[in-house]
Structure 1
Amino acid sequence: MELDVPTLLMMLVLTPVLIALAMVTVAWGERHEGLQFWAAGLGINALAYVFFGLRNDISPPISILLGNGLTSLALSYLLAAVLRFQRRALHWPMLLLPPLLLSFALLGLLDNFPLRVVVANLVLAGQTAAILQALYVRRSSTAGRGVALVMAGTALQLLVLLLRAGSGITGALLPQSFLQPGLLQNLTFLSTFAASLITSLGFVFMTKERADEANRRLAALDELTGVANRRSIIAALDRDVGRAIRTRESMAVMMVDIDHFKAVNDTHGHLAGDQVLRCVVDVIQHRIRAQDIVGRYGGEEFLVVLTDTSAQGAQQLAEQLRAAVEATHCTYTGASISVTVSVGVFGGRLEPGDSWDQLIHAADLALYRAKQGGRNRVELAQSLGRVTREGVTSSSPETYPPPLA
């Protein structure tokens, strides 16, 4: 099947331009995630095909030098877009070196068509491989499937460039064949068109997936301390309670409250209080396991969920945390601020019908006793407060804490 070369060239010019305009519109005024560089690369590549298409209407050397030079420059901008997305440093002299070297090399090879084809396609293949390598080494840190699309489109383009370089070596590509229909030219144009669509859509998906991931993190994390917020820590506790009931494994929770935190704010200021919160969180995070989770339950109170942990194990850990916080000096603008914590602990095996709020209530009762006992201490909950057959909880009514002043 013979395809109309002018039509293919028109597609290779108009499609990238339209995609680039859409990208610029989307990225206008937003955080620079590389979309602007990608759009610039598409626009430059479209301009390159304009010069390729004018091969019979302008001076051939101009068409050759500008067409290949701009194609190489476009790849440099696409690599810059990937590096910017990955928040890596951009070294523009290195990025702009391939287009300059290619232009000078082709200037000396204008009369040697086979070698010119080999050199041009190998340089372009090297730049394409650099894009693929940059994506591959950071693929695990890029959320979503957009990166897979970009890698697939880039690999397709790399394969065609290597095929064209091989055709220059074997003599399968003739000087007059660029604007004439043929298997290799059709393959080149169609693969370039497909690669442009696939990689561009993939890059847009990459930026969207990153934004979605950032929104999910903002919705799940406490902005000040970086740990789980109240909603997500309760969701994690609810999930772990269900699993503990199914597996008949022990689990524990700790309610950790900073003692006299209001006095810290009144004496040192609220920014110092924020630093104290972060300091205490850091102490907790360095002493719990990877499978455990800490979240800010409210104010200066933190909830720690410990999977597969007995009451005794949780109590020992709570005592270690209490001692560690007491020994830690939080610094703010040169001032050293010492704080202590009170900890309420519940641990044990759960039964069908137990719920996350019962665990929090039991740990809260223990925390209240720790506060009443003088603070800077750990108290273990005596029971979960399950409902008996008579409809009365196993916790005594007098153990329910009144509001703390």
Structure 2
Amino acid sequence: MARLPPTPTRPPQRASPRALRDAIRDKALALGFDAVGFAPARLAPDARRQRLERLAAFVDQGFQGDMGWLGDRTEERVDPETLWPGARTVVSVALNYGPANDPRAVLAERDRAAVSVYAQGRDYHDVMKTRLKALGRFIWDTYRHDLKVFVDTAPLMEKLAAQQAGHGWQGKHTNLVSRQFGSWLFLGELLLSVELPADEPEEDHCGQCRACLDVCPTKAFPAPYRLDARRCISYLTIEHEGAIDRALRPALGNRIYGCDDCLAACPWNKFAQEAREAAFAPRAVLDGPHLADLATLDDETFRTRFSGTAVKRIGRNRFLRNVAYALGNSGTPATSLPAVERLLKDASPLVRGAAVWALSRLAPAAFERRRRAVTEPDAAVRDEWSSPLPEERAQ
């Protein structure tokens, strides 16, 4: 929740609710947002109950994995007016980050790293927050209405808010789908203390399509509109802090930060547009870099290389864990083994453990010889050395 600077001294302008809504929409588009919509902050009792029941079922089944915060403040999470009792209108804004090409193409280049489209440019939180604050400042300076700004930093269900505001609908992959932008929208919200005319909510247009569900490498969707984060590659490579389940590691492929498969498979992307925001243009260091090069990063070079990007927030060790798994999946021992050897000596047990698994995949004979004489102080890494080879586990 972002705070605005001190209040100005000039008197506020008066505007009818409709004129105020139009002025906010015009200002948001002028600031560079690609879409802006309005929804009531107050929920009908039935809608509120349904949201609470769905969230409770998700948490009760453990689908949130390590993201325990999803089970906290549930009343506030489902109801904007409970989150802030002064809220009367949700202003939902969106930024398009559509890629120029199919992001799945890099998956065939197994010695290169696949990084989710959303993380290849500047961290969207920074872009969105700057513009939302500017929009909030315009509203406060001009009309003096109380407000609060949110960018994925408070318990607000932004995809549901976006659907109510008419941006799109929550598809079977649980992400927002837009008829204009496909599955490629960043979302942010501003809660206003004044009631404004609402836009029409968007309806679900998924129909019988299962493209997003069927393409998932780890089968993370137990049913349409339900995601088990514990199997989701985006969750595993970004949010999960420890070693990734051995059974899921081969399905990671060369994905080292996030996964775009379900998003890219959506047929509505035929209407998607390439992002016009320069900040979201892919950086060379994140547009299919070689895995072997990434394996050389120490903490300082990691921070420097990924400064200003979403990648930086997971830290060097978790990042190198993902790189090691991808090296193990590369199927190119000639280029990948030297990098794995380097990671086997890493100071981080998390990285060493992942490198042990990579060695077992790339060079089973060498792995078998070395584990007989290995000395390792960390119990988790010793477990990796003592685990059966892939062909032994398959028997």
TM over 0.5: no
Larger helix proportion of the pair: 1
TM-score between both structures, scaled by the size of structure 2: 0.23
When normalised by structure 1's length, the TM-score is 0.23
Q: Which has the larger radius of gyration?
A: 1
